[in-house]
Structure 1
Amino acid sequence: MINHKELSIIIVNYNGAQYLEACMDSIKKCCKGIDYEIIMVDNNSSDKSLDIIKRKYAEEVCLIESKENLGFGKGNNLAVSNSNAKCLLLLNNDTILLDNLKPALDLLEDESIGAVGIKMLGKTKEYRPSTGHFPSPLRLLKLSWLTYKKEKFQKGERLYEVDWIEGSFLLTKRLLWDDFEGFDDRFFMYVEDVDLCKEIAEREKRRIYFPELKYIHFGGFNSQREHLLIKGHRMFVNKHFHGLYRKMCLWTLGINEAYKMKVKRING
């Protein structure tokens, strides 16, 4: 009989050598009392990532070496296909866990909950939004309107139900993942986590933000990748919306894109 673990920690790495040791050490510290495994897909890194994992963490990590950069979605899908646990934690390589994850894992015992996220902090431990609203015509006029920035999310007084959770830390159930077959791999980078949460929502499972637990995320949005963010939202709209509502979303997203292109030209 297969001995299923409690948690599979899924990491996609691409040239993340400078972050890996801190990330791995925080997992060991914050997963005490949890029967877990770590599955890492390396997206053809050219730095010292592979050397670090093989030299320091060979016994702790199931390492899958891809000969090409699969992107975030495909990389996660490959890792999950090699995992063995009832719960999955999608975790970025450039993160540091700060609290024991058992309370977040316990939340998934509730049948109504499909995903859990925790409070994201920046490198100086400042609050950073990691949850938000699903796209709508109004919010697509300014993409920052898609994220929750309310003070109550920063204070972390209780659990909150949200639309989507950022993929840098996203805890979900393996059975649920298998039902919608993981990430839609047409999303190379950005919005695949919003799409994943939409799939969870369509199965009438709640997405919960648990701000008492925290993690540091060093990475973030790069304005040079603005076109990928726009592309991801366009794919989301075409996939999930129909009729006039879809047309309105595409129209306001087009206004957003045109404005940013104009600003870019002006600024050289």
Structure 2
Amino acid sequence: MSDELYVVTVTYSPGPHLDRFLASLAHATDRPVTVIMADNGSDDGTPEEAVERYPNARLLRTGANVGYGSAINKAVAEYGLSSTTDMFVVANPDVQWGPGSIDLLLEAADRWPRAGALGPLIRDPDGSIYPSARHLPSIIRGGMHAVVGPIWPSNPWTAVYRQEREDPSERAVGWLSGSCLLMRSAAYAEIAGFDERYFMYMEDVDLGDRLGRAGWQNVYVPSAEVLHAKGHSTGRDPARNLAAHHASTYTFLADRYPKRRHAPLRWAFRTALGARSRLVVRSSMKARRGQG
């Protein structure tokens, strides 16, 4: 296999983020890179401009807004990445690459031969570290994070779930943020990539969980750093996206408790998440009206 590295990103009218993504990529690795933009229906012209400006950029139209995971799967299938490459990168177009960030992930992949996914340290625009490497959400830990997190951000369950009080160190974790991942092709193929039932949110939690169940590891590599602007597409309709987040959370939890004897638990998940969704959506809409 060649040294060429494929980077897959999903575009949906990404605006100026995409140019920063592509320009900073030159500093992330010494390997030749091809960028596949799986476009979910952009109407701002930026993916087309990128193809003209960057010779290594390729545009793949998905035909509709199919969601993040589905768009990644389409790009991987179209270019045969899971069978013709050892590794490939998945990243949001609002990521800016730190110097050598991809090469550092590739070096870590050699140290962790069972790593199915590796993720860098992610910084928010203000320079703070985003808790991108987390435990899988258990009923108690994840449930308490979901219920009390919005009103008590410093609660102990959220701190443990997000691992935000731990010093950054290279280690295996439950799951990694899907905003920037180095994927091992064999692992991706074994679990058939992203679960396309998730339109947005929780697809990365599900991916990390299924990798772990298949015997692969999710490895956090804080020596590699990226900056994530966040919200270039999700910020367009906060109420809709909050509702989608809760629906995806239910899908994830219901999948983990599928048996008949778990029916009361699934009912409790649905009821609690439905109530929380209505509450946060109303709060979001009220806040938007207040800003108008």
TM-score normalised per structure 2: 0.81
- Describe the superposition over 1:25-82 as per-residue Cα deviations: whole angstroms up to 9, x where unpaired: 11111112x243221111110002133212201x201211233112101100011111
* Native 8 Å contact 1:140 1:252 kept in 2: no
- Describe the superposition over 1:64-103 as per-residue Cα deviations: whole angstroms up to 9, x where unpaired: 1233112101100011111442102111000101131212
Q: More deviation in 92-101 or 63-72?
A: 63-72
Give the distance between the partners of 1:38 and 1:63, measured in 2 at CA. 8
**Aligned mate of 1:56, from 50, 53, 57:** 53
Q: Secondary structure at the match of 1:216?
A: strand
* Native 8 Å contact 1:39 1:80 kept in 2: no
Amino acid at match of 1:183: F
| Aligned counterpart, 1:152 | 166
Amino acid at match of 1:165: L
Give the distance between the partners of 1:74 and 1:212, measured in 2 at CA. 30
* Native 8 Å contact 1:16 1:93 kept in 2: yes
**Aligned mate of 1:202, from 196, 199, 213:** 213
Q: Secondary structure at the match of 2:43?
A: coil
| Aligned counterpart, 1:254 | 271
Q: How far has the Cα of 1:178 moved from its partner?
A: 1.0
| Aligned counterpart, 2:201 | 190
Q: More deviation in 87-96 or 231-240?
A: 231-240
| Aligned counterpart, 2:23 | 25
Q: Secondary structure at the match of 2:27?
A: helix
Q: How far has the Cα of 1:252 moved from its partner?
A: 4.6
Alignment of 1:169-184 (within 5 A): 169-184=180-195
- Describe the superposition over 1:145-165 as per-residue Cα deviations: whole angstroms up to 9, x where unpaired: 385243334xx3x31221010
| Aligned counterpart, 1:94 | 94
Amino acid at match of 1:71: G
2:254 aligned with 1:238 = yes
Amino acid at match of 2:272: I
2:235 aligned with 1:218 = no
* Native 8 Å contact 2:135 2:163 kept in 1: no
Unaligned runs of 5+ in 2: 150-157, 287-292
* Native 8 Å contact 1:96 1:216 kept in 2: yes
Q: Secondary structure at the match of 1:181?
A: coil
C-alpha RMSD over aligned residues:
2.3
Length, aligned pairs only: 261
